[in-house]
Structure 1
Amino acid sequence: MTDPGKPDAAAERARWAASGAAWDRWADSMADPADRVNRPLLDLCGVTAGDRLLDLASGAGEPALTAATLAGPSGLVVASDLVEPMLAGARRRAAANGAHLAFSLADMTSLPFGARSFDRVTCRFGLMFVPDDRAAVAEMARVLRPGGRAAVAVWGPLEGNILFRELAAVLDRHLGPGALAGLDVLFRHSGAGFLAEVLESGGLDGVEVRHLRLSQGVPADRPFWKATLDMAFSPALATLSPSGREALEARIAAHFAGLADGRGLVPVDMHVVLGAGAAR
């Protein structure tokens, strides 16, 4: 299969170095929605007490923080990310929660760990940003013990993710198509069978793929979209003046108000694809 949205390595490093503060800012308020993905991902990975787990692209700390509660004091959870600004939130939250986490800067295609170092590897919404995704999966397989399990979460198709779709529509009209450069990478693994192929070609056996579809209605008068705007579209917003940002947010609020049903609720559906496999 062709890769529809292979990212540029330098651009991705710059994106995440610039996005760390936004992810940290929203991490606590987004904890409950994030848990709707964290738990199924960790269940699919099979995390149990005493496990040694490596979490890749940990960002502001999940699912590493949740995994640490499952692995318990006899286990070890390493939270890793490509750039230090993204790990700042994870360090802060771990200290605040008294969580036992280790931290590491790590390029997913060249992990700084020995072979067979971990029982589990997780990656939530990170694999799609790696230019050589198959090399990243090969590294997951390398650092896993034989029979150890890796699990990843990626976004399903754009049409199944209403919040991204509608925000993108407003930004396209307000800022122009150039503002959405790089958005395709978010949905890079959403094609039918594509994630399974990546995991298998990277060296994982017994690959299993599940589709997680989450639906909810959110009050239109609540700025529920601000976290996603900040975290996913921060490069596009960087050039806006304060008044320009204010005008954009007013336009977004009006757009979502127009999507509300008779009860004043906006549908905010998510489609997430979970994939897992075992090391040989």
Structure 2
Amino acid sequence: MAETETFQISLDAAEVYESKFVPAIFAEWADRLVEAVDVAPMQAVLDVACGTGIVARTVADRIGSGTIVGLDLNAAMLAVAHRLRPDLEWHQGDAVELPFPERTFDRVLCQMGLMFVPDRARAIREMARVATGGSTVGIVVPASIGEQPAYRELASIVADEAGAAAAVLIDTYWSCGDLDELRALFSSAGLTHVVARTHLGTARFRSADELVATEVEGSPLITQIDDATYTRIRERARTALEPFATQSGSLHAPLRGHIVTGTVP
């Protein structure tokens, strides 16, 4: 992959992200990440690549006070974030050039966003730069596609039906799952006491069609395929994802992810 997909999306896609991705996937991981970094009242917390702000909202609900800031490159994501929580701070900016002074935040978090950053090493260095001494930087990323049995099926179908360019959009999600590389990124940024944890979560959808719609319509993939291709992807996914259906007809797709934390000296 020559260039990392940064996923600039429309407001409609951002609304799909919030209404579908967040309850199905990201709310679960936001809780785990916030727990892993041990946020406390009165802390200053930065949510990098915040999307529509589920991590920042989770922090706000947990600590009730403090300075809670979300930053994202995508204006549409921030528009939804501001609509949902106008009381929090939302900034447009790049993870590789955070617009904050050194030693500003007590916790710096990034959930399911590092894989979309072209220079991941620089992004981690920036997170460490803006964190206070003794504070924690924590990230969540999905494990590699080989560890995702349900999503591996969908990725294969998309590649087959929509071609290599579309497959890159799906592959980007799973491109940051090497634990050794993640630990090295943290260590090279000067972070100490680096801890990597792998968890098995569950992506919960009402049906296989809803999972496909979320993945396709909540990303730039929807702009790169025609209606006929989309129909074929849905039809094939219904069969391929049958092993993950529940007795009630909903779909529970296993989703393995890595939480990595490090301490700022």
TM-score scaled by length of structure 2: 0.88
How much has 1:266 moved relative to structure 2?
Answer: 5.0
How much has 1:244 moved relative to structure 2?
Answer: 4.4
Relative to structure 1, the CA distance from residue 60 to residue 220 in structure 2 (aligned partners, 3 Å threshold; closer, same or farther) is: closer
2:62 corresponds to 1:76: no
> Any idea what the Cα deviations from partners look like across 1:238-279, whole Å, max 9, x if unmatched?
13344543443333334334x356945655111100001111
Relative to structure 1, the CA distance from residue 204 to residue 64 in structure 2 (aligned partners, 3 Å threshold; closer, same or farther) is: same
Q: What is the distance in 2 between the residues matched to 1:261 and 1:110?
A: 43
Q: How many residues align?
A: 263
SS in 2 for 1:109: coil
TM-score scaled by length of structure 1: 0.84
In structure 2, give the amino acid aligned to 1:149: T
In structure 1, give the amino acid aligned to 2:31: R
Matched-pair contact (CA < 8 Å) for 1:82–1:106? yes
In structure 2, give the amino acid aligned to 1:250: E
**Equivalences for residues 1-280 of structure 1 within 5 A:** 7-8=3-4, 11-12=5-6, 15-16=7-8, 18-33=9-24, 34-73=26-65, 75-95=66-86, 100-215=87-202, 220=207, 223-231=210-218, 234-257=219-242, 259=243, 263=247, 266-280=251-265
- Alpha-carbon RMSD across the aligned residues, in angstroms, is 2.5
SS in 1 for 2:85: helix
Matched-pair contact (CA < 8 Å) for 1:55–1:63? yes
How much has 1:159 moved relative to structure 2?
Answer: 2.3
Relative to structure 1, the CA distance from residue 266 to residue 70 in structure 2 (aligned partners, 3 Å threshold; closer, same or farther) is: closer
In structure 2, give the amino acid aligned to 1:165: R
Q: What is the distance in 1 between the residues matched to 2:134 and 2:60?
A: 21
**Range moving further from structure 2, 187-196 or 235-244:** 235-244
Matched-pair contact (CA < 8 Å) for 1:137–1:203? no
Matched-pair contact (CA < 8 Å) for 1:136–1:202? no
> Any idea what the Cα deviations from partners look like across 1:148-198, whole Å, max 9, x if unmatched?
111000110212223421211221222223321244332232124121111
How much has 1:224 moved relative to structure 2?
Answer: 3.5
Matched-pair contact (CA < 8 Å) for 2:212–2:234? no
Matched-pair contact (CA < 8 Å) for 1:162–1:267? no
Identify unmatched segments of 5+ residues in structure 2.
none
In structure 1, give the amino acid aligned to 2:97: S
**Range moving further from structure 2, 21-30 or 162-171:** 21-30
In structure 2, give the amino acid aligned to 1:248: I
**Range moving further from structure 2, 159-168 or 118-127:** 159-168
Matched-pair contact (CA < 8 Å) for 2:158–2:167? yes
